[in-house]
Structure 1
Amino acid sequence: MSKEDKLVVGISIGDINGIGGEIILKTFEDARMLEFCTPVIFASVRLMSFYKKHLGIDINFQGIDKIEDLLPKRINVLNVWKEQVEVNFGEENETGGEYAIKSLKEAVEALKKDKIDVLVTAPINKSNIQSETFNFPGHTDYLAQELEGNSLMLMVSDGLRVGLLTDHVPIKNVVKNITRECIDKKINTINHSLIEDFGIERPRIAVLGINPHTGDNGVIGTEDDTILRPALDNIRKNGKMVFGPYAADSFFGSGNYKNFDAIIASYHDQGLIPFKTLSFGKGVNYTAGLNHIRTSPDHGTAFDLAGKNEANFESFREAVFTAISIFQKREEYKELTENPLQVGRKKVYQKKKS
């Protein structure tokens, strides 16, 4: 398989009754995208042809039956299935979940075998994906099982990165899932990701408290004093620049988030409500900490918009660009850490030459 120096971006279709097909086609309707990558959509030519006709999108793609047959500088559609599938836009049904998972599993297998360089996932519905063979609350948990490393949900936008100590966990279970071991693991993961994936040499990380006002000295809960603060003190002793815990209610409104390279929230809504308020439609969901790269748009299936040709594809396009950027940063990091002396000499030579 010749990549001709273009990254191969694998794309899972998501829920077929949602906006996944639309945002994928709209992203690659701009032919300039093929200057950055070679896309492979894991679905079927029949399905993508249906979307194309229904939405009136002027785009050409190449159907392939094996990943090895992909054509560089073309939009490739890998036939994961050949049968005609009925699409019911806006409907949450078993079929939507079944084919979303077929696409995802095939794409992840290709990622594990390095047949694709990165994976970008279109949105799925967390309810209709559940089955005897797939029992995960979402992409992140499935990828954590299939790939190597310690996964962490990291929401990324211009100058804003928000990670989570706990992600898809019911509120009643949040506190029991925040242990010193969990805090240590998540902060180590995000610290390494900031260095390797984003090229930040000395990351500054802020951590938000568990309770309102970080417990107010035990008046509104003791977890910040007995779990979070001791864990952060220990991490700081190891040289990491970790700050907090900060009271979450004023942290974003005051603009304090701008002083840090990443923020770690204690639970899902504590981090994602401010992130999506500040960045909705432009944000990217990145699964940090794994040995392969996966990104996704910051929104869901948007059943209310499905089939109406009204979906905003900007977040999906950003997910593609973010995946490409992180891949390139990892390659640079690998080169730097494998042979730091040679890289150092190269930089000195370039400086003298200029």
Structure 2
Amino acid sequence: MKEKAKIKLGISIGDLNGIGGEVALKTFEDSRMLDFCTPVIFASNKTISHLKSTLQLDIQFTGIPEPSKAIDGKINVVNVWKESPEIRFGVEEKQAGTYAIKSLRAAVNALKKDDIDVLVTAPINKKNIQDKDYGFPGHTDYLAQQLEGDSLMFMVTDKLKVGLLTDHVAVKDVADAITPELIRKKVMLIQQSLKMDFGIRKPRIAVLGINPHSGDDGVIGQEDEQVMKPTIKALFNEGHLVYGPYAADGFFGSATYLQFDGVVAAYHDQGLIPFKTLSFGKGVNYTAGLSKVRTSPDHGTALDIAGKGVADESSFKEAVYMALQIFKNREEYRELTANPLKKQKLKR
């Protein structure tokens, strides 16, 4: 029987002055990682050589003209640019953002053409990527435009999976942004992702309140009473296992999250502060709801430690594992849904 081809895992290099290149290459210093996938880095031979030498990394790589030519058992590098951009570790500057976007665009284009199977993105700086051709606040919004589906920022570990109603929205605008339609849309995206991407047949989902104590029955704001509760009740009455709204402090403080397969946070910090506190170094940022699989580590560019060789690659490695597993889960889900007699194999 012919051996099944390894999953081609694309990597966008991120901000050149940050730790993205370091954690990506450190991940594959462990040659056993090449047993699981075929990595394809979108940068240039010269850039990767410079990172390898400067950070004294024990890796070997091979340059390829295009991602479709990737070689199993090798760290492959696609030459997205020919020049040798200066890398100034720890410096926030426009040039680093320009090359981060070049890498991202090339990787996403390869993903769309199925030249790679999944994508792991190294961290970018949301400020220095901005120009007339790229007006997105981050990866998620760009991917939503480029790939089919509605994107959802989904922070995941084995025991905790947190999705956001609003992600990069100013706190002062959060309450106005949350509508019954948005709640329904995000809950259904999370539910579908838990089924398709994580193999959970009947996911239980908790929704966190907007205000402290979920509004204390309207004493602290009316949003939870007028928007959250009716929408959650309607979803539950339709047969979805959706509960809440829960006060965020007690929900995480008492480990109630362990009783649920997914959690919906109202806004960025409400979800990400407890997630990173509980899972930092092991968490993965997954963009759910798209036609393709994209993950990233749960940290930023870390300019303060860039170039020092001390960056921890754990989260990037988890992002690699997660991308591979979701890709396999999706294949199994498609097979199971195409054959109803196999559906019972899905988890509970």
TM > 0.5: yes
| Residue 212 of structure 2: aligned partner | 212
- Asked if 1:10 corresponds to 2:7, the answer is no
| Residue 98 of structure 2: aligned partner | 98
Distance 2:172 2:115 in 1: 41
- Asked if 1:197 corresponds to 2:197, the answer is yes
Kindly state the Cα deviation for residue 59 of structure 1 after the two structures are TM-superposed. Answer: 0.6
| Residue 75 of structure 1: aligned partner | 75
Q: Could you list the per-position Cα deviations for residues 212-246 of structure 1 after superposition, in whole angstroms to 9, with x for gaps in the alignment? A: 11111111100001111111111112211001000
| Residue 316 of structure 1: aligned partner | 316
Distance 1:68 1:254 in 2: 49
| Residue 130 of structure 2: aligned partner | 130
Kindly state the Cα deviation for residue 3 of structure 1 after the two structures are TM-superposed. Answer: 9.3
Q: State the one-letter code of the partner of 1:255.
A: A
- Asked if 1:152 corresponds to 2:139, the answer is no
Q: State the one-letter code of the partner of 2:310.
A: E
Q: Could you list the per-position Cα deviations for residues 287-311 of structure 1 after superposition, in whole angstroms to 9, with x for gaps in the alignment? A: 0111100000000000001000000
Q: Could you list the per-position Cα deviations for residues 116-155 of structure 1 after superposition, in whole angstroms to 9, with x for gaps in the alignment? A: 1000000000000000000011001111111111111010
Distance 1:113 1:101 in 2: 18
Structure 1 ranges of 4+ moved more than 6 A: none
1:137–1:316: structure 2 CA closer, same or farther, 3 Å change rule? Answer: same
Q: Secondary structure at the match of 2:253?
A: coil
Kindly state the Cα deviation for residue 46 of structure 1 after the two structures are TM-superposed. Answer: 0.3
Relative to the length of structure 2, the TM-score reads: 0.97
| Residue 340 of structure 1: aligned partner | 340
1:344–1:103: structure 2 CA closer, same or farther, 3 Å change rule? Answer: closer
Q: Secondary structure at the match of 2:104?
A: helix
| Residue 120 of structure 1: aligned partner | 120
Q: Secondary structure at the match of 1:252?
A: helix
Q: Which runs of 5+ in 2 are unaligned?
A: none
Distance 2:95 2:4 in 1: 37
Instruction: Give the 5 Å matches for 1:256-271.
Output: 256-271=256-271
Moved more, 316-325 or 210-219: 210-219
Kindly state the Cα deviation for residue 344 of structure 1 after the two structures are TM-superposed. Answer: 6.7
Q: Could you list the per-position Cα deviations for residues 229-279 of structure 1 after superposition, in whole angstroms to 9, with x for gaps in the alignment? A: 111111112211001000112110111111000111000000000000001
Distance 2:101 2:177 in 1: 28
Distance 1:218 1:236 in 2: 22
Q: Could you list the per-position Cα deviations for residues 298-344 of structure 1 after superposition, in whole angstroms to 9, with x for gaps in the alignment? A: 00000001000000000000000000000000000000011223x37
Q: Secondary structure at the match of 1:131?
A: coil
Q: State the one-letter code of the partner of 1:117.
A: D
| Residue 247 of structure 1: aligned partner | 247
| Residue 181 of structure 2: aligned partner | 181
Kindly state the Cα deviation for residue 16 of structure 1 after the two structures are TM-superposed. Answer: 0.3
Kindly state the Cα deviation for residue 158 of structure 1 after the two structures are TM-superposed. Answer: 2.5
Kindly state the Cα deviation for residue 68 of structure 1 after the two structures are TM-superposed. Answer: 2.1
Distance 2:18 2:89 in 1: 6
Q: Which runs of 5+ in 1 are unaligned?
A: 348-354
Aligned residues: 344
| Residue 46 of structure 2: aligned partner | 46
1:344–1:262: structure 2 CA closer, same or farther, 3 Å change rule? Answer: closer
Query: Does the 8 A contact of 2:337 with 2:343 survive in 1?
Result: no
- What root-mean-square deviation, in Å, do the aligned CA atoms of Structure 1 and Structure 2 show? 1.3
| Residue 23 of structure 1: aligned partner | 23
Q: Secondary structure at the match of 2:161?
A: strand
Moved more, 169-178 or 66-75: 66-75
| Residue 274 of structure 2: aligned partner | 274
Distance 1:340 1:75 in 2: 39
Distance 1:153 1:198 in 2: 15
Distance 1:329 1:240 in 2: 22
Q: Secondary structure at the match of 2:162?
A: strand
Q: State the one-letter code of the partner of 1:35.
A: D
Q: State the one-letter code of the partner of 2:102.
A: K
Distance 1:143 1:223 in 2: 30
Q: State the one-letter code of the partner of 1:244.
A: G
Distance 1:65 1:34 in 2: 20
| Residue 59 of structure 1: aligned partner | 59
| Residue 141 of structure 1: aligned partner | 141
Q: Secondary structure at the match of 2:11?
A: strand
Query: Does the 8 A contact of 1:4 with 1:72 survive in 2?
Result: no
Q: State the one-letter code of the partner of 1:187.
A: V
